[in-house]
Chains A and B, each alone.
Chain A
Amino acid sequence: MVTPPASAPPAASTATVQRPDILDYASRIEAGFPLGNVVLPKHLQQLQAEAIHIMREVASEFNNPVLLYSIGKDSSVMLHLAMMAFWPSKPPFKLMHIATGWDFHDMIVHRDELCAALGLTLLIESNSDATEQGLTPFNTDSREWARLMLIDMLKAGMDMHGFDAALGGGRRDEEKSRAKERIFSVRGPGQVWDPRSQRPELWSLFNGRLAKGESMRVFPLSNWTELDIWEYIRLCAIPVVPLYFAKPRPVVDRDGMLMVVDDDRMVYRDDEIAVDRLVRFRTLGDWPLSGCMESPANTLEAVIEEMMTSRVSERQGRMVDKDESASMEKKKREGYF
């Protein structure tokens, strides 16, 4: 069990915004986000409308919803849709980031600058108990790490703030057990998922009613694919963490996973040295657990083209998902997103 730590002060809103793409984005949001000459393809328009519809249902049917913001590309799209679903109002729910303390430095900068530029307050929760005990991704089993730092912390954060619904960026194309999940997914006491007794979900009629002790996880991006996400980011020019684009970075090849050494907490094994290689990330997480790929793609266009010819799936680089094929379902049952 995690003892909920005192809520960290909202750090984001005071950061100085330096990235020009973020400044430009914030001013476009302020203006109502006209796209000018760009026209979204029909299926992206539909997906956009569906996600906005879902977010508005959440805002209307729950007392205290939260959007879980994890800084990655899906979160970028989620946050963007939330900004536009309620414009000119600010999103009528809280934002929360479950931070492990091992996010890439670029991610934290992105998070803080984006929230500051958009005038949003972000709750940042992390498992300080585990950190104080000296646990790191290097000395902890990857599944245990995910449980302590993400699953338990997420549950503690939900309980501590009394959130009754959490919006997440999960997509059905990511993984087999996600493909089975409802858009409104009821979690029982302890926030566990029982895949055998999901509520029927017909049309766009979502049942947001909860019994005591239950909470809801809601996935507005359920019907988006990885390609849709990138296309949407490209056409709307939504800022993403620069780690998605190729750049020479210090890389260690460990058991087939290419690890980028992000700071001096790196624990090298015998004979290991970091070598600069041209790499980028397809998914982001804690830096010691996120594999990158060799790639020259340094623009959105190149990233999309590369993905369309890729023969491996998006989550392939994630240590946390690898252990066995039912691992995601297990984590979800325990309360993961």
Chain B
Amino acid sequence: MNAFDSAITPFERASQLRYLTCGSVDDGKSTLIGRLLYDSKLIMDDHLLALEADSEKHGTTGDEIDFALLVDGLEAEREQGITIDVAYRFFSTPRRSFIVADTPGHRQYSRNMASGASNCDLAIILIDARKGVLTQTLRHSLICHLLGIRSVVLAVNKMDLVDFDPARFDEIVADYRAKTARNAFEQFIAIPMSARFGDNVSTRSELSPWYTGPTLIEYLETVEPPLAAGSQGFRLPVQWINRPNLDFRGYSGTIVSGEVAVGDQIAVPRSGTTSMVTGLIGPTGPLQRAGAGEAITLTLADDIDISRGDVLALAKDRPEVSNQFAAHVFWMVKDPLLVGRPYLIKLGTATQTATITAISHRIDVNSGEQAPAKNLQVNEIGFCNIHLAHSIVFEPYADNRALGSFIIIDRFSNQTVGAGMVEYGLRRGTNIHAQPADVTRQQLAMMKGQQPCVIWLTGLSGAGKSTIANLLQRKLMLLGAHSFLLDGDNVRMGLNKDLSFSEADRVENIRRVGEVAKLMVDAGLIVICSFISPFRQDRAMVRELMPEGEFIEVYVQTPLEIAEQRDVKGLYAKARAGQIKNFTGIDSPYDEPEAAEIVVDTAALSADEAADAILLAIKSRLQPAG
């Protein structure tokens, strides 16, 4: 085997560079990668034949080979001549091997560009020499910068179309540097080129004698992107508990930073417990020590409480544990990020409910400056405060990528809706501890002889919620029950008079109502809430505030046509005339409840019958718990 080793040395020993190509639509990203593959003779003959056939069918380069078709692998991409999703390509030269992420230029596919950029060390940002620096060029630069890429090649492409004019090249480079001054890259080079004809890609062009720097390939083969300073402390996010039998208990995960050795004293920062490392198992046998990047299983001297989501650290160098931090968030879906709405956050191996409590600002893509924001729209980047349901270990992204990066997941669609980078922990919350009350909620409920709860009426405007709620409260009073009614009218005039009807303020409106209702339930009351509350997430948020079984969702169901016919307050007419914006059912959606405890159909029942139906369903709560 040793004799053979020499034959493959170049491939084995060469270091690997992961980079991406980005920039605006039609700046030639895919063409450049195709050119690199072609020039390095890495296109297989059968692929080349297919490419020639494809070029005739879909190509945009006349009789010549259209290199973009090599990487635009999806049918829709070849048909439309654009890149939709990131493609990963592998190639090597004798000096180095490369993994290239070819990312899409369209604004609407920025999420795919970010996916590609998140694992890269260097970015090639392309510019069409005719068009110069575009908004999308700057957006991609900003995303690269936030994701921690420190090395950039500015590829001024299509120089053949501006006659390799050095003045034009200098003008573009100066413009780019000025516009990205706020978020400048540590390592920077600009290269004039033509990807289509290969000038300055792998061979020096005779058409640009004024350019004396390296060709693209020379540069990529030798560049050493600067490494992040980073923390060196041992951190192991626990992925999986390894328990084959009663005699073995191991903790599996990938070490994200630092080193650990058998005999080290380690700690579980979340609980504060400590123990000693008794064994390390790697994929190629037992180890005495292991370092960053290794996927290991670790055994300890003591049986201590460790579960997925915990982070193991050395006892003498423990990270902070907290439930609040400030972070940059890149928002990736059409539905905006709303302050106050609960999402899921996955950070390391921990997945938790989290709320964005404030957006300090968003970053203007063109100027790099801070701008005020109430929410984040698709493709916007904001600086947010985030509050987690439970404390976890995290670190600033600049120190530790693995414990400083997170994704935001929508709890209902399960989509990945945002990506974030922790800037710093917020300590604000640490001094507020829950105050245990001397008089318990059980005692208060007992005094009133009932089992308090929230009866939450949701439905379209005009469905009859208020009428039913009022009737219900009157019936409860006649039965001697203690209740209170919260509705839009009494809340919007006082507590929530600062809120508008924008989507963000509607979320906040429901959040405040939920908190007030919770206090009233704690006081022993049956609280009737009557709100359109159109968003499923917000109703779920209130449900989760309450103890199990104390949130009773009542769907007051009416077809839109009937509600619109009734139009008691004339609101539908105004909404149809465009005088009211964001009106539920007209230009703002209503998410029907999927598992309401009670459904009353007001097209079939009178308001009185509906109130009776609700009363019947909650009758058992009018007696003390027993």
Number of interface residues of A (CB under 8 A): 72
User: Would you call A16 an interface residue if the criterion is a C-beta within 8 Å of the partner chain's C-beta atoms?
Assistant: no
B529-577 with Cβ < 8 A to chain A: none
Q: Is the CB of B239 within 8 A of A33?
A: no
Cross-chain contact B252 with A56 (CB below 8 angstroms): yes
CB distance A205 to B346 under 8 Å? Answer: yes
Which single member of A33, A59, A308, A329 contacts B284 (CB below 8 Å)? A33
Set of chain A residues within 8 Å of B242, measured between Cβ atoms? 86, 88-89
The verdict on B84 contacting chain A, using a C-beta distance below 8 Å, is yes
B474 at the interface (CB under 8 A from A): no
Contact B47 A313 (CB under 8 A): yes
Contacts A33-B283, A56-B239 given; does A200 touch B293 at CB 8 Å: no
Q: Which of A86, A180, A204 contacts B74 (CB 8 A)?
A: A180
User: How distant is A58 from chain B, measured CB to nearest CB, in Å?
Assistant: 10
State whether A202 and B283 are in contact (beta carbons under 8 Å apart), knowing that A88-B244, A180-B73, A311-B44 are contacts in the complex: no
Residues A45-69 near B (CB distance < 8 A): 45-46, 48-50, 52-53, 56-57, 59-60
Whether A202 pairs with B118 at a CB distance below 8 angstroms is yes
Contact pick for B252, options A86, A177, A313, CB 8 Å:
A86
B2-20 interface mask toward A, CB cutoff 8 Å, 1 = contact, 0 = none?
A: 0010011001110110000
B77 smallest CB distance to A (angstroms): 8
**A48 touching B283 in the complex, CB below 8 Å, given contacts A85-B252, A209-B414, A225-B90:** yes
In the assembled complex, the Cα of A210 lies from the Cα of B16 at a distance in Å of 34
**B13 / chain A contacts, CB cutoff of 8 Å:** 41
Is B308 a contact partner of A304 (Cβ separation < 8 A)? no
Chain B residue at minimal CB-CB distance from A311: B45
Contacts A32-B286, A53-B254, A81-B283: A205 and B8 contacting too (C-beta < 8 A)?
no
Of the listed stretches B107-115, B126-134, B165-173, chain A binds B107-115
Residues of chain B within 8 A (CB-CB) of A209 are: 344, 409, 414
**Are B90 and A85 closer than 8 Å at their CB atoms?**
no
Interface digits, A86-111 against B, CB 8 Å rule (1 contact, 0 not)? 11111000000000000000000000
Contact A325 B54 (CB under 8 A): yes
- At the interface, yes or no: B210 with Cβ under 8 Å from chain A? no
Chain A 23-55, CB within 8 Å of chain B: the 1/0 string?
000000001111100001111011011101100
Cα–Cα, bound, A84→B250 (Å): 13
CA distance in complex: A187, B530 (Å): 39
Q: Is the CB of B46 within 8 A of A312?
A: yes
B residues contacting the other copy or chain, number (CB 8 A)? 74
Expressed in whole angstroms, the Cα–Cα distance for A158 and B45 within the complex equals 37
Q: Give the contacting residue for A207; candidates B4, B44, B86, B407; CB below 8 A.
A: B407
Q: Does B431 make an interface contact (CB < 8 A)?
A: no
Q: Is A34 a contact of B44 with CB atoms below 8 Å?
A: no
Chain B residue nearest to A178 in the complex (CB): B73
Interface string of B244-259 (1 = CB under 8 A from A): 1000100011100000
* Stretch from B154-162, B191-199, B398-406 contacting the other chain: B398-406
Would you call A313 and B46 a contact (CB within 8 A)? Answer: yes
B332 touches A87 (CB 8 A): no
* Contact between chains at B7 and A305 (CB < 8 Å): yes
**Contacting residues, chain B, for A130 (C-beta < 8 A):** none
Q: Shortest distance in angstroms between B623's beta carbon and chain A's nearest beta carbon? A: 38
Contact A207 B284 (CB under 8 A): no
B285 touches A316 (CB 8 A): no
If A56-B240, A60-B349, A85-B283 touch, whether A200 touches B74 (CB-CB below 8 Å) is: no
Check B71 for interface membership: any CB of A closer than 8 A: yes
Which residues of chain A are within 8 angstroms of B72 by Cβ–Cβ distance? 176
- B405 close to A32 (CB less than 8 A): no
Q: Is B602 positioned at the interface, with any CB of A under 8 Å from its CB? A: no
Asked if B405 and A227 sit within 8 Å, CB to CB, the answer is no
- The B281-317 residues at the A interface (CB cut-off 8 A) are 281, 283-286, 293-295, 297, 308
Please report the C-alpha to C-alpha distance between residue A102 and residue B254 in the assembled complex, in whole angstroms. Answer: 40
Please judge, given known A-B contacts A177-B73, A326-B75, whether A210 and B286 are in contact too, CB under 8 Å. Answer: no
Complex Cα–Cα for A182 and B116 (A): 10
B112 & A179 in contact (Cβ 8 Å cutoff): no
Chain A residues closer than 8 Å to B297, beta-carbon distance: 87
- Chain B residue nearest to A31 (CB atoms) is B285
Interface string of A269-313 (1 = CB under 8 A from B): 000000000000000000000000000000001001100101111
Decide if B88 is an interface residue (CB 8 Å cutoff): yes
B413 near A211 with CB under 8 A, answer: yes
- The interface bits of chain A over 190-209 (1 if a CB of B lies within 8 angstroms of the residue's CB, else 0) are 00000110111111110101
Decide: A49 and B407 in contact? CB cutoff 8 A: no
* Closest Cβ neighbor of A49 among chain B residues: B295
Pair A308/B286 contact, Cβ less than 8 Å: no
Residues of A with Cβ closer than 8 Å to B? 31-35, 40-43, 45-46, 48-50, 52-53, 56-57, 59-60, 81, 84-90, 172-173, 175-180, 182, 195-196, 198-205, 207, 209-211, 214, 222-223, 225, 227, 231, 234, 236, 301, 304-305, 308, 310-313, 316, 325-326, 329-330
Interface residue ranges, B against A (CB under 8 Å): 1, 4, 7-8, 11-13, 15-16, 44-47, 50, 53-54, 70-76, 78, 84-90, 97, 99, 111-112, 114-115, 118-119, 239-240, 242-244, 248, 252-254, 281, 283-286, 293-295, 297, 308, 332, 344, 346-347, 349, 401-402, 405-407, 409, 413-416, 419
